[in-house]
Amino acid sequence: MERKVTWETYDEGQMKELEALNREYRDFLDNGKTERECIDTIVNTIEAEGYRELESLIESGAKLQKGDKVYSVCMNKSIAMFQIGEKPLTDGMNILGAHIDSPRIDVKQNPLYEDSGLAYLDTHYYGGVKKYQWVAIPLAIHGVVVKKDGTIVELNVGENEDDPVFFVSDLLIHLAGEQLKKTAAQVIEGEALDLIAGSRPIRIDAGEKDEEGEEPDKKKAKEAVKAGILDILKENYEIEEEDFISAELEIVPAGKAREAGFDRSMILAYGQDDRVCAFTSMRAMLDVKETERTMCCILVDKEEIGSVGATGMHSRFFENAVAEVMNLNGEYSELNLRRCLAHSCMLSSDVSAGYDPSYASCFEKKNAAFLGNGMVFNKFTGSRGKSGSNDANAEYMAHLRKVMDEREIVWQTAELGKVDVGGGGTIAYILAEYGMNVIDSGVAVLNMHAPWEATSKADVYETYRGYMAFAEGAAL
């Protein structure tokens, strides 16, 4: 089958739109390196476009009408957006669903320690990572520390040019003979991903007393570097060591999203799985005008670890939000809720593995996604014999072909590598449990799950256009 090169289909006006969209996308990535930061950025953006908080409308007893735009946030880590359509909600919605969590390293609850003159933060990696990729690169700390009185302290250290950065050390090549004999999965152990946070001991003048009026003891002198870090945290953030217990601190690559290649045709950045699809889904929702069917965009947490927890797709947050919207619309009953979900169409907006010629043996070329060839549809994901897959119906795939072709969207189909080589999953199968039509669809990515991932600007733009076409035209 013929593959179209997306770049070759654009006129001058579309090229300007493409560049403008990708500038906004890079800003989105820079401002949203954690789930909480993504939610803050999204809420600020959609409120400026007329979206209102669902909870405030519930309190006021407002009624929803065609064209109304509402949103609901769950624990500052997930969000559901709705634009009410002309048809009853029982006829179903057109849903775009992505996730905003990405592989990273988390700080443990009792993390700070000193060893041989270096202060460390003990860590636990999150999601599927190649651990060796996270050593000897500049890292930043993002997150929140919640104190016992409920005060929330936000941290973002390592992104500004005058900020310090952090790093995980690696063994020098001169002594790495035994290390290099290990497999890639073992060359860096999970417990070896501790973050170096400082090396300067706190200055203790002769005869100086501590807070209890005592001379510093030997133990404190031995942990002078740790004491120095605690002193900085106290002075700059009013954080005590015990406050780490109620903190969510995420270690991510330091640095901004960048254009890549001499031709600036790609984006190189952290967290594009799956924030590239989250951004394009949100932007499509904002740019689509009134539609017959209600539109919904759900952006969730915890996909990288199984969509679990209160903010993951397995929770009842989405279902509850739909029920509240139907109630304000005068349509709610348990049966109507089930009808709404069963009659909905969804794109599980998630990335696909971009074909990489350097690792061609892992791909089946006829059924691989190529950078620059447009929006990707994955009829199924899973592993081995399609284990854990949604596997969309052929009728739904045919309907989407018609929708995309009528709007001249450049798209391609793919599988996640060769059969039996590996595999992966998305949130698609979870929404499919309601009986709705669901298929995975998104952007091809190189270096997926690495600290720095690559996408094509053209694919970002074409996927945005494809999501708009879906929101306007899907009605199976």
pLDDT tens digit sequence for 227-270 = 999 999 999 999 999 999 999 999 999 999 999 999 999 999 99
Shortest CA distance to 133 belongs to which of 161, 103, 176, 163? 103
Joined together, the tokens standing for residue 167 give 């790093």
pLDDT at 420: 87
Residue 456 pairs in a beta bridge with 266
Q: How far is CA 186 from CA 41, 169, 310, in A?
A: 37, 16, 32
pLDDT at 382: 81
Mean of the pLDDT values across residues 40-68? 96
Q: Are 245 and 9 in contact (CB under 8 A)?
A: no
Position 81 pLDDT exceeds 80 = yes
Residue 409 burial by Cβ neighbours in a 10 Å radius (0-12, 13-18, 19+): buried
Strand order in the sheet with 78-83: 52-53, 69-74, 78-83, 294-300, 93-99, 345-349, 437-442, 375-378, 411-413
Nearest to 301 by CA among 291, 293, 311: 311
Question: CA-CA distance, 256 to 319, in Å (whole number)?
Answer: 36
On the question of pLDDT at 206 being above 60, the answer is no
Q: Is 86 left (phi over 0), alpha (psi -120 to 50) or beta?
A: alpha
- Dihedral sign (CA 277, 271, 24, 18): negative
